Structure 1
């Protein structure tokens, strides 16, 4: 999933080797005949499950903000414990907001429900878009252009990769990667603000959501306006600082356009534990399957990946580009005993 979808290409767009500026990349994968029924079945949605997961993600955010509000106000040596607890809470908040963005991404493909598209959009807006400050119709228009015009000058993700040099990030070590990424964050965040669409005339909606569901309740629970003030700080750090970082980490690992000719070859599946749990929640790490079949919802994508690993060893398993460690370069082919994603 790419949340910070840029609308305009950079001046150098189309200069990469093998990049057909006006013709989308070919799919690069043929579904085995014996798997076509399974692929078709994998497109079925479960509205109740998507609604439940987004609701739980919201509830966890609220509990983290309220739970971390009081410890940061402790005095004496207890303040170290309080700030440590709050620090862990802020990190978890970044993950939870990212999870809601992934659910908005699912809704952009009508993967909550295709039986009632209006309900799909209404529920996703309330449960996923309002807390994260995005607008589903604007995001959908940009993201579907990424799928339909993949690899062309109209591909908003390719524009981001070019503008921010995402393929050139220094992955030689944690510190070098962190410094290299941080140098790109100011411009990356500006682009996100310009292109996310916001919530129309209500760009403060995420803050209002936090006030109603977390900040004021924190003051009530702990009986202190100081706790409400602390809850505001915890929320601001999670939403305003950690979420953009987690979003950036997710986007920079999804594709390698250079030298690729097909969607299959230029898409990377991130199958490591940290990626699946923290950076790419709700199945977004199985990005190759997503680009092959965008209509497969989050609750079925992992099983479809595992099925193809077993049943298509030459066409899928041996060719799949993936990484299991965040800083590693992607490799091609899964080992038979390493059916990643289990």
Structure 2
């Protein structure tokens, strides 16, 4: 993009989009956990197959929501107070779903500096597309069956332990890397046990994390950067997916679908991204923006490769802790 075609902000617009709120940050974190608790209570009160599926879908969506709020914390946009931002972003948002804010922040900021370029650490997630329908559904089956989540955790464990010949040293490294994930999950288990439903931790927390969370993380990753219009144009190398309230509830919580706006205005809290979108439209950028009318439209482009006996490949080893959370 040439300088005269880049979106511009007035001082007032810039100040508004940059302004963060401790109250709004607290509300969003409480909202995510509140929805998870209500979904658990819904199934416990009315246990049947349909209510179980609904609970898993809603809880998995809010687990992604926690990762999204951790992502905001990585940009120091979740809370105005830096200590609140980093502490709550790590312990109430990132660690419960197995993501480290301290590891994710430098990785993710590198993604922003080199979006869709050779140096982009997330390029491995978008470069293989388009793929075949058959390949896509194989991935979806692995995701919903928990195979993807299980394999990713094992790969992370192996990376964290290293290759020391000492078993004790490997276990020590693993504990150092995973202790906060274990402690926060112990907290979730303690709450469910105190409520007399200890099994809910396994059925209504771990299961969604290993299944539905993996499904929607993959779809969201595809929507953000796969099969975009121009890798060298900031208005075309990232996509915003316009969708309805229901899809945002289960697939794109906390305005994560406004990904183009996030890349253009990285300092903006997630709850102000719709305002950033309206600002771009008001400046006449809509014809140049990479926009999709729903996730179905994106997936049709992403799985448009003709079937030619494609082979299945494992998850690249560079897809590590916190990779492409947002």
Aligned to 1:181: 139
Q: 2 CA distance for matches of 1:27 and 1:255? A: 23
Tell me the equivalent position of 2:240.
Answer: 269
Work out whether residues 131 and 209 of structure 1, in 8 Å CA contact, stay in contact via their aligned partners in 2: no
TM-superposed CA distance for 1:26, in Å, is 8.6
Q: CA deviation at 1:240?
A: 1.8
Aligned partners of 1:97 and 1:243 also within 8 Å: yes
- Where does 1:193-342 land on structure 2 (aligned, <5 Å)? 194=155, 200-202=177-179, 203-213=181-191, 215-219=192-196, 227-230=197-200, 232-256=202-226, 259-273=230-244, 274-309=246-281, 311-313=282-284, 316-329=285-298
Q: State the shift of 1:317 in Å.
A: 1.4
Question: Aligned to 1:99, which of 50, 65, 70?
Answer: 65
SS of 2:18's equivalent in the other structure is coil
Tell me the residue number matched to 2:318: none
State whether residues 250 and 279 of structure 1, in contact with CA within 8 Å, keep that contact through their aligned partners in structure 2. yes
What secondary structure is seen at the aligned counterpart in 2 of 1:201? helix
**1:141 pairs with 2:106:** yes
Task: Measure, in 1, the Cα distance between the counterparts of 2:95 and 2:234.
Answer: 32
Post-superposition Cα deviations, 1:35-88, rounded to whole Å, max 9, x if no partner, equal 45313421110111111111121122123224423544xxxxxxxxx1211111
**Partner of residue 319, structure 2:** none
CA distance in 2, matches of 1:38, 1:330: 34
- Quick one: structure 1 residues 188 and 96, their matched pair in 2 at CA, closer, same or farther if it must change by over 3 Å? closer
Aligned twin of 1:161? 126
Q: Look up the match of 2:7.
A: 31
In 2, the alpha carbon distance for the partners of 1:251 and 1:192 equals: 18
Count of residue pairs brought into register by the alignment: 278
TM-score by length of 1: 0.71
Query: Does the aligned pair in 2 maintain the 1:65–1:231 contact within 8 Å?
Result: no
1:293 shift after superposition: 1.0
Q: What secondary structure is seen at the aligned counterpart in 2 of 1:323?
A: strand
Give the CA deviation at 1:194.
4.6
- Using the TM superposition, give the Cα deviation of residue 184 of structure 1 relative to its aligned residue in structure 2, in angstroms: 6.6
Cα distance in structure 1, aligned partners of 2:61 and 2:287: 31
Whole-angstrom CA distance in 2 between matches of 1:206 and 1:28? 48
SS at match of 1:84: helix
Q: Secondary structure of the equivalent of 2:119?
A: coil
Indicate conservation of the 8 Å contact 2:116/2:237, yes or no.
no
Change (3 A) 1:277 1:92: closer
SS at match of 2:6: coil
Distance 1:205 1:68 in 2: 25
Shift of 1:123: 1.6
Q: Which runs of 5+ in 2 are unaligned?
A: 161-173, 301-326
Instruction: Name the counterpart of 2:321.
Output: none
Q: CA deviation at 1:110?
A: 0.3
User: Matches of 2:156 and 2:11 in 1, distance apart?
Assistant: 37
TM-score (norm 2): 0.74
Rounded to whole Å, the distance in 2 between the matches of 1:235 and 1:169 is 31
Counterpart residue number, 1:109: 75
CA distance in 2, matches of 1:70, 1:40: 46
